[in-house]
Structure 1
Amino acid sequence: MPSGRPSGRVPTAEEGKKPGARSIPPGLAPRPRAVPDYVVKYPAIRSPRQREGYKGVFQDQLAEYTELLGEVRTAQRRLRETEAAMGRLPRHATSRTRVSRGRDSAFLEKQQRCEYLKKKLTHIKARIQEYDRDARDSAVYF
């Protein structure tokens, strides 16, 4: 409206764009990535003392991971056995939806914790190996 008075009309998204500006289609915009806590908590090792601390954490967490992994694998095996048994039953004998595929919240939590520990242990092990490699490479030979 040339009179300078507001029209009460809201411009569309296309009308509000600057010439030459491109928009990112919905769903394709980059999402910020959360940095895992262990990446921040376990930076590059700078001393033998720090290396020993990382080694201690690794050993403690490895014990938990090993135990948890055994529990998760046992639950997965039982789930496969249950699904196989259900597959042999007549379709009308039981509702397949009644069995929640063993995916109760406790199992999912164990599975997620197991995956988290695996990533954490991998990170800590890599830090220890980096330190050992750097220490070996920086050794002076006469």
Structure 2
Amino acid sequence: MRSDLMCQQFWLRHFLPVDGTDDISSSVGGLKPRLKDYDTGVESGEDLEDEDFYVLFPSIVDEQERLNYKREFDQEHQEYKSLQAELDSINQDLAELALALNQHPEGGPQFLDAMDQYTRLKNLKKSSGYQIKKKRCKYLRLKLSHIKRKISEYDRRP
């Protein structure tokens, strides 16, 4: 089985914030026009080096190794699903708030309430905690895809 330490080092090397800042900027003025270009925060991000997964999880050579890969997949798949659900929920809430802001008169109580919630969620997405979760989720997706591919390759062998 692959060393957890190696996986941890890979994750730290590729995904922890470099500068350690928690840049939170407010953008209340001119919000309505910008909502037309609203995105859910799914940036392409930097390209990851797949070869690290090839080192950690090379081709499977026997049934025991396949079981180890499957065990690793099952353990981390739950974490991935949980993280992805959390991130999706935040993005869905933001999309709904963006619609609410466009439906209510600017300056009204419903608009201001939606604006407060929208700003809070946008700031949350800029926080280091959210960014770490997002990068961890991306890492897990790539790792799980690689492991699944290796298991499939093993299962298709003659």
TM range (shorter): 0.5 to 0.7
Consecutive unaligned residues in structure 1, runs of 5 or more: 1-32, 138-142
Number of aligned residues: 103
Aligned to 1:86: 101
Scaled by the length of structure 1, the TM-score of the pair is: 0.60
- Which of 99, 102, 120 is the matching residue for 2:119? 99
Q: Which structure features the higher share of helix residues? A: 2
Report deviation, 1:83.
2.2
Aligned to 2:23: none
Report deviation, 1:56.
0.3
Aligned to 1:117: 140
Q: Which amino acid aligns with 2:95?
A: R
Q: Say if 1:35 and 1:133 are closer, same or farther in 2 by CA, change over 3 A.
A: closer
Q: Which amino acid aligns with 1:118?
A: R
Report deviation, 1:114.
1.4
Aligned to 1:57: 72
Scaled by the length of structure 2, the TM-score of the pair is: 0.55
Aligned to 2:156: 133
Q: Say if 1:105 and 1:84 are closer, same or farther in 2 by CA, change over 3 A.
A: farther
Identity %: 30
Q: Please, what is the CA RMSD of the aligned residues?
A: 2.8
Structure number with bigger Rg: 1
Aligned to 1:11: none
| Distance in 2 separating the partners of 1:38 and 1:108 | 22
Report deviation, 1:89.
4.5
Q: Say if 1:84 and 1:44 are closer, same or farther in 2 by CA, change over 3 A.
A: same
Q: Say if 1:110 and 1:91 are closer, same or farther in 2 by CA, change over 3 A.
A: same
